[in-house]
Structure 1
Amino acid sequence: MESVVSELEGTLVKDSDAFSYFMLVAFEASGLVRFALLLLLWPVIRFLDMVGLSDAGLKLMIFVAVAGVPKSEIESVARAVLPKFYMDDLDMDAWRVFSSYPKRVVRTKTPKIMVERFVKEHLRADEVVGTELSFNRFGLATGFVHGDSSNTISQRVANLFDNGAPTLVMDQLHPPILINQNYDHQMLRPIPVIFHDGRLVKRPTASTSLLILLWIPVGILLAIIRISMGSILPFWAIPHMSKLFGGKVIVKGKPPLPPSAGNSGVLFVCTHRTLMDPVVLSAVLRRQIPAVTYSISRLSEILSPIPTVRLTRSRHVDAEKIKRELSKGDLVVCPEGTTCREPFLLRFSALFAELTDRIVPVAMNYRVGFFHATTARGWKGLDPIFFFMNPRPVYEVTFLNQLPVEATCSSGKSPHDVANYVQRILAATLGFECTNFTRKDKYRVLAGNDGTVTVTVSPTYSLLDHMVKVIRTFIK
């Protein structure tokens, strides 16, 4: 059987320096202190690399990034955070060569626990050969590795081929050359990363990490000001305040007029990008539009400048609540049930389609520079704070036309058909792809209970989290 062995760093992924990935582990699995310490040691690591002691620099990075960190936290970061950044740095030419062989092995200088999920489940590798982190009897990383010598790794690779040799070796000394042109371009698409977590938007290289650290105090102050002003000012003034403090809202399409006396309200059906979707929609419409919610924190409800209607996930009870709110006026619903960061839409719950034929689809999207506004790990109450910590958060709101009666359940269409139709037109507006994944699928993938995590597309722990932990420890 033809086979290939490829280095990960500098070959399958473009960047040969693993420093930024250890910075991600330090930030997401431990917190700001370890993140800052590892950045402080970057000049030492670079010096060791320059004088030919790159192995010593790598061991120093590993020790600082993971020493004392529970194995479960490292696995969580490797599962929910790292794949997104590895995928963004993937060398597609190298991937095409690698994937054209029936037996595929990845060799890495990074501890195996950090990369195995990505290369096996997104790059379809058969085996991963790398160093192994050492853990004590309490499940905490010691910061040391074993099986890290070149001879040991080479022997382990040879053992995979019955002490023979692979057909092709790909590394920085042997760059990939695409010889076999007989492959299907569509079949060789890497499995996309749809669900991921973590607070950082950009891969924390040394320069980006320094910029993040310098910005955090300014960002916290800016978030306090933005949230305070948004809570005090009337809605018509919020767009002007946003521009003054660096935010931007781009509005496309024509929003409907407020409901007239005696008429039920419009149901705004939105894509769900962040917790701020209904708030931004209300700011654009310059009036408070209540939003139905499932699992936002009490702090988010307190900070919210719009009314929230907490649902129970009991279909009958929730339907009655939504009908009651619609009888009072307009309402916002995000039928995906959870946020998705990537350009995909999750399956829409069909409940909204059963309750009204006055449906206005609204395509929501956002751009931030430093911090993601939603997370499945950590304390969800900090989500709006992180959103407003970004230097220039940008929201795009696109109003589509109200669904014609013939496209609603009033014309005899099933609720699922209506929900799927709304999902498709919103995806087309944003240039996204539709999926059949649900909220349960997202949390199953991020929690590592997904069985086979080959998430195919259908046709159709952070600074403030760390601060909270420290405060709770002192209180105890």
Structure 2
Amino acid sequence: MDGNMSHHIFLLFNFILKSIRYPRGHQWKNKSLNYMKYEAMAEKYTSEELQNITLVFEVEGGLLRSTSLFPYFMLVAFEGGGVLRGLVLFLFYPLVCLLSKETGLNIMVFICFFGIKKDNFIIGRTVLPKFFMEELGYEGFELVMRCGRKVGFSELPMVMVEGFLKDYLSVDCVVGRELKVVCGYFVGLMETRMPLSRSSFLMNDVFGERKGDSRIIEFGCSNNILDRHISSFCKELYMVSEAEKRKWRSLPKDKYPKPLIFHDGRIVVIPTYLTTLTMIMWIPFGIWLSILRIIVLISFPYTMSIPILSYTGMRGRVYIQNNDFKSGKDDKLYVCNHRTLLDPIYISLAVMKPVTAVTYSVSPLSEFLSPIKTSHLSRNKEHDSKMMKTLLSHGDLVVCPEGTTCREPYVLRFSPLFAEISNQIVPVALDAKVSMFYGTTASGLKFLDPLFFSMNPIGIYHIIVLEKLSSAITRGKSRIEIANMVQRQIADALGFQCTNLTRRDKYMILAGNEGVV
């Protein structure tokens, strides 16, 4: 065959391939001329100019330090479907890695979502935001947040990412994969294309008059090119390579665009494949260890249970600022912040004497196994006030005025009821550190809380007994002022922040109810 003819055939074949890959109307040729590294964007535009830019970015490629999707699907499988579903995903993941990216994604979606009721799926706004925030790359986050309007693309289903991107990053529009629903239940299948309604929304309401405007730019990872239809409206393309992303720093908590105060779920650290393997190997041993710890706590006196628990990994660190807290004939009212259900028990261990705890929504099983006396609050102020005075006349009493637990370094608003019970108020600051499982839940089974806390390989309680409030300090102050003062003292001792959020706020965010039992 003639050389010139071969050359012409090659050019024709190459033209056909390009026509198939980049349809007419797609301005890829112009974009390739404007292909730049992501650092050039901050150098090219001023802060004022960036506010007039619409940025189309990839969530996995432009925000998260790792592009692995397994941890987020594991969270959905474990928190939404239970241990068995998480185990199935773990066993299938090696097969997922051998298949194409799209096929592997479909398999993970099917395992995680099949049979889950759509109305009950709240993990996308209660569990996943914490882990997305921890995986944000500081460099990518800073670049995205400087732009005026933001459109986020994700390979994950919409129900997993939309809540996080809109609530925490104020993204104007999120484009993800829609899940098919039959009779109100997910069937584990994704729509193959973006719905026309969402595409129309993007074109008209997000881009609007900016179609074809050079102020619409695109930011992502070189291995994940965005949707061609949307990309055709972007005039500049900024890319970050995998090698560059590995150098990204994690976003410091003080840089979070919105404080992360409430979140749910049992898993503490992001469940990568190796972390999940560690948890699967630990759980059988951890269950027996948890039962042993509970038996020791219930059956043995303090002098024996404390060293045994410490030897098994359940440790307490006590700091006494109140030198005379053991002296005096009057029974003391210990007022503490609320970290887990075991707060009153650890206070009892710290002061080395039995105490009584007032509770609200404690399961009958937890109450039965409790090594200390408990009494239920009715949420009737007059009744609860009389009951607490009676209990205090028979011994030391522990009260958690927050009314619910908080995992993060914040102290919720204190109910002022305790301030009219006694003038022997001893503030106690508590902090609980866990390594694998949280011992609290808002939407899960509460009777499992002590079990999950005790299943941790290491669990550490920090207990700071503060100075007793003297009558000179509280004289002339209202009960609300006293409650706010105690809240501030506890927060300062721990280095936490005070908030005006309450039990009702927490349950409205995490469970969709007011937390009334």
TM-score range, shorter chain: 0.7 to 0.9
Q: Does 1:142 align with 2:187?
A: yes
Q: Secondary structure at the match of 1:168?
A: strand
Q: Residues of 1 paired with 2:253 and 2:361: CA distance?
A: 38
1:428 corresponding residue in structure 2: 492
Percent of aligned positions with the same letter in both sequences?
42
Match of 1:129 in 2: 175
SS in 2 for 1:128: strand
- Give the aligned partner of residue 205 of structure 1: 272
Structure 2 counterpart of 1:315, from 381, 393, 398: 381
Secondary structure of 2:386's counterpart equals: helix
Say if 2:58 is the partner of 1:58: no
Following superposition, the deviation at residue 5 of structure 1 comes to 1.5
Following TM superposition, by how much is the alpha carbon of 1:22 offset from its aligned partner in structure 2, in angstroms? Answer: 0.5
Q: Is the 8 A contact 1:99 1:188 kept in 2?
A: no
Cα distance change of structure 1 residues 54 and 355 upon mapping to structure 2, 3 Å threshold: same
2-side partners of 1:288 and 1:254: how far apart? 20
The offset of 1:404, in angstroms, is 2.5
* One-letter identity of the residue aligned with 1:204: P
**Match of 1:457?**
none
Is contact 1:346-1:437 (8 Å) kept?
yes
Q: Which residue of the partner structure matches residue 139 of structure 2?
A: 93
1:118–1:66 CA distance, 2 compared to 1 (3 A): same
Asked if the contact 1:365/1:395 (under 8 Å) is kept, the reply is yes
Given that 1:29 and 1:73 are in contact with CA atoms closer than 8 Å, whether structure 2 keeps it comes out as no
Residues 175 and 413 (structure 1), Cα distance of their counterparts in 2 relative to 1, 3 Å cut: farther
1:366 corresponding residue in structure 2: 432
Computing the radius of gyration over CA atoms, which structure comes out larger, 1 or 2? 2
Q: How many Å separate the matches in 2 of 1:29 and 1:186?
A: 27
Q: Establish whether residue 414 from structure 1 lines up as the match of residue 478 from structure 2.
A: yes
**Structure 1: gaps (5+ residues):** 177-184, 451-476
Match of 2:362 in 1: 296
Alignment of 1:314-353 (within 5 A): 314-353=380-419
Q: Which amino acid aligns with 1:288?
A: P
1:282 matched to 2:348? The reply is: yes
Residue number in structure 2 paired with 1:6: 57
TM-score (norm 1): 0.86
Separation of aligned partners in 1, 2:107 and 2:170: 30
Q: 1:362 to 1:210 in 2, by over 3 A?
A: same
304, 307, 310: which one pairs with 1:243?
A: 310
CA contact (8 A) 1:219 1:389 kept: yes
> C-alpha displacement at 1:10, in angstroms?
3.4
Kindly tell me the number of residue pairs found equivalent between the two proteins.
433
1:396 aligns with 2:462: yes
Q: Which runs of 5+ in 2 are unaligned?
A: 1-51, 223-237, 241-251
**1:217 matched residue in structure 2:** 284
Corresponding position of 1:112:
158
Q: Work out whether residues 339 and 431 of structure 2, in 8 Å CA contact, stay in contact via their aligned partners in 1.
A: yes
Aligned to 1:386: 452
Change (3 A) 1:95 1:248: same
Q: Which moved more, 1:428-437 or 1:147-156?
A: 147-156
1:171 matched to 2:238:
no
| Structure 1 stretches of at least 4 aligned residues deviating more than 6 Å after TM superposition | 149-156, 185-188
For residues 359 and 295 of structure 1, what CA distance do their matches in structure 2 show? 24
Whether 2:510 is the aligned partner of 1:446: answer yes
Cα root mean square deviation, aligned: 2.4
What secondary structure, in the 3-state scheme, does the structure 2 residue paired with 1:360 have? strand
